[in-house]
Structures are given as structure tokens and as C-alpha cells.
Amino acid sequence: MKNEKVHTPPLRIACPKNISRFPWDFLLVLQTHI
């Protein structure tokens, strides 16, 4: 949970609600972490 604050922006983008609206954003976030 400590990393939660550091990964706040990506977590919000990867939020389930956002995934429903922006499924492609989720893939972009995964690529960014890679």
C-alpha cells in the first residue's frame, strides 16, 4: 500500500470505472510500467 501514493496517477487511469470508458488506457498504462 506504500507504493499506492507513488502510483496514484496510473492507479486512477487503471481504475475499473475508467477501464470501462477507456479500455485502451489500461493497455497504455501496462506498457508504461514495462
- pLDDT digit string, tens, across residues 9-19: 565 555 555 55
Which residue carries 493497455 as its cell? 27
Residue-number span of the structural domain to which 7 is assigned: 2-33
CA dihedral (19, 24, 28, 34) positive or negative: positive
Number of domain units in the chain:
1
Mean pLDDT of 17-31: 66
Kindly give the residue spans of alpha helices, DSSP state H, lying in 1-34: 2-6, 8-13, 16-21, 23-33
CA distance readout (Å), 8 to 17, 28, 31, 32: 15, 15, 17, 14
Contact 26, 19 (CB under 8 A): yes
Instruction: Tell me the pLDDT of the chain averaged across its residues.
Output: 60
Q: What is the pLDDT of residue 6?
A: 52
